[in-house]
Amino acid sequence: MNVLLIGSGGREHALAWKLAQSSFLTQLFVAPGNAGTAALASNLKLDVSNHDAVSRNIKKHGINMVVVGPEAPLVDGLVDHLLDCGKHPELVVIGPRREGAQLEGSKAFAKEFMRRHNIPTARYGSFQGTEVEDAIAFLNTMEPPYVVKADGLAAGKGVIITEDLNEAQKVVRDMLSGASFGSAGERVVIEEFMDGIECSMFAVTDGKAYHLLPSAKDYKRIGEGDTGPNTGGMGAVSPVPFMDAEFHEKAINQIIIPTVKGLAADDIAYNGFLFFGLMKVGGDPYVVEYNCRLGDPETEVIVPRIQSDLLHLFENMGAGLLSEYHLQIDPRTCSTVMLVSEGYPGTYKKGKVISVPERLDKDAFLFHSGTSRSRGNMVTNGGRILACSAMAANPENALKKSYALANEVTFDGKYSRSDIGRDLL
Ligand code: AMP
Ligand code: GLY
């Protein structure tokens, strides 16, 4: 089977690494990929927002399956195009259509979905551009801290949390006027602040059955002790010690099953990943957000724990046979520490030469995020550069190995947080 994986981050390198081990794989293509995926697969220089170009490459390379990594092509309707253009009748696509991707692409859609299906989440109101005064009146009834969210995709920056009512009102006005987030802010969600600890659960579903993937916690802020601006994620650990069996059970019954059933009840076909961003409040799970794809860097700690053949799992999803599939997960801990460019998540330089250890320890994995090749060198090509993942019997030893690996990598301006996972020890 020939597979095309869409994306270019650490998530895609981890997925490519796992897919490349499958006995069902003939050839793996990644578009556009990075220096890490180039070592395992053929990178295709391809603008994935050009749906016709993707379609042509599927024909050209005899692709049987497309796996979509990031959210943007899903929200943009790439899957609908590939399935509806009539050119690929046998193609299996892992990733939801545009409608299902609205769970991530529109916070108002996600909140309405949760309300409809009684899925626990923060109380909220959602408002569009013509409803500024209603939005302000609703905001005035809330208690601080105030949580204001742009409806659409905003690369993790569309959520403002503030103790200051005047600032929250200004955020609402700026978003609804289109001044701050463009079309992503044409609608806003104002919601109750949830005081708890965040963690994430992941599932694959074919719209009927689902399988849980390993849970994870990521570290979003740039600075030590969870300070400073949000990033895409500075590290992750799986499993999460405070997500005990009782919490998992509640999350499965109150959130995951109702979500899969809710999609079916709403007639939303869904063949792909579900990412549940959760808040644990006094032992109970609430949904903070849905994503319609895997997380990054969560994938870099989830994938090493999957013992089953991932391509075989995807084939079962494509055939609607997920319920018959048995997924095996390694019980050990996997951690990852992200190495980023100085200046990230603000501005940073690219093109710095990277040196990596020639040989990795057993159970240590270096997943590439923003890397490319230039004149025979591996160079930095983004904010997040490399995810240093490692498996061990417990979080302490996994993190030790991740940090040992992180120390062996060098590039000008290398930065990482030194406290990933420390709160879990
Ligand atoms: P989102 O993009 O909806 O996941 O929000 C980004 C981040 O903002 C989350 O990861 C949380 O840390 C925080 N957040 C969002 N909504 C809430 C809420 N209702 N209460 C507390 N924190 C929140
Ligand atoms: N690490 C958070 C995300 O992928 O959304």
Model confidence pLDDT, tens digit, residues 311-355:
999 999 999 899 888 999 999 999 999 999 999 999 999 999 999
Site to probe by mutation for ligand 1, drawn from 71, 123, 159, 226 as the one with most ligand atoms within 8 Å of Cβ, is 159
Q: 159 CA distance to ligand 2 centroid (A)?
A: 14
Structure tokens at 108: 């108002």
Same domain flag for 141 and 88: no
- Residue 265 included in any domain: no
**pLDDT higher than threshold 70 for residue 184:** no
Q: Which atom of ligand 2 is nearest to the CA of 298?
A: 1
pLDDT, the chain, mean: 96
Q: Are the CB atoms for 92 and 63 separated by under 8 Å?
A: no
> At 181, which CATH number?
3.30.1490.20
- Residue 52 included in any domain: yes
Same domain flag for 80 and 130: no
Same domain flag for 13 and 58: yes
Q: How many domains does the chain have?
A: 2
Q: How many CB atoms lie within 10 A of CB 394?
A: 13
Same domain flag for 61 and 129: no
Task: State the residue range of the domain holding 56.
Answer: 2-96
Q: 244 CA distance to ligand 2 centroid (A)?
A: 22
Question: What's this model's pTM, rounded to 2 decimal places?
Answer: 0.96
Q: Name the more confident of 263 and 323.
A: 263
Same domain flag for 26 and 76: yes
The pLDDT value recorded for residue 185 is 65
Structure tokens at 123: 């109380």
Site to probe by mutation for ligand 2, drawn from 296, 337, 367, 384 as the one with most ligand atoms within 8 Å of Cβ, is 296
Contacts with 71 (C-beta within 8 Å, 6 or more apart), sequence order: 101, 104, 105, 153, 291, 292, 293
96, 113, 134 - which closes a domain: 96
Same domain flag for 66 and 132: no
Same domain flag for 82 and 6: yes
- Residue 347 included in any domain: no
Closest of 215, 218, 216, 220 to residue 232, by C-alpha = 220
**pLDDT higher than threshold 80 for residue 183:** no
- Residue 129 included in any domain: yes
Closest of 307, 274, 109, 286 to residue 205, by C-alpha = 274
